[in-house]
Amino acid sequence: MISRILVPMDDSEHAAEALEYALENYPEANITVLHVVGVPSMMMGEATGLALEEDISEAADEYAEPAFERAREIADKRDREINTIVGIGHPARNILDRAENYDTIVLGAHGADWTRTVRRFLVGNVTETVSKRASIPVIIVR
């Protein structure tokens, strides 16, 4: 029985659909939304901004709040509560490091970062990495 679900969520529509899927298909499950901040990028935007903050943990919470607000709105429409956690660093590593605390992971097919190869266009880089390496079942929502 699936009673603990991890739903990683960025600002993509696929992530929102993954949360909707989890809420709809597992009405009794405890759902935790994970948002990872400080993701390294070509321009080092968010990672640099986070590194320059005086209180990194507090700054990470602030960066994550828009994603959590959206997640709460989605959950409220179904009269459900969710838990939220913030990760710092690489999304796939954060998800995989937390996997053992959950029964399954529900992911959007791809997130806000688009990649160039056809395989990664169909299934995002983070989703592909997690689905290959997770020690628990992974549900990919398209």
- Distance (Å, whole) CA 129 – CA 84: 22
- Distance (Å, whole) CA 43 – CA 24: 38
Question: Other C-beta atoms within 10 Å of 24: how many?
Answer: 10
pLDDT for position 36: 93
Q: What is the pLDDT of residues 40-51, one digit of tens each?
A: 554 444 544 554
Alpha-carbon radius of gyration of the chain:
15
Question: Other C-beta atoms within 10 Å of 75: how many?
Answer: 18
pLDDT for position 56: 73
Number of structural domains (the chain) is 1
User: What DSSP designation does 43 have?
Assistant: T
- The domain in which residue 15 lies consists of 4-141
Q: What is the pLDDT of residues 27-38, one digit of tens each?
A: 999 999 999 986
Residue 14 · residue 97 · CB < 8 Å: no
pLDDT for position 26: 98
pLDDT for position 43: 47
Query: How close are the terminal C-alpha atoms of the chain, in Å?
Result: 23
Regions of the chain where pLDDT drops below 70: 38-54, 110-124
pLDDT for position 53: 55
pLDDT for position 123: 45
- Distance (Å, whole) CA 36 – CA 97: 12
pLDDT for position 57: 77
pLDDT for position 59: 80
Q: What is the CATH number of the domain that holds 90?
A: 3.40.50.620
3-state SS, residue 141: strand
pTM: 0.84
- Distance (Å, whole) CA 43 – CA 50: 13
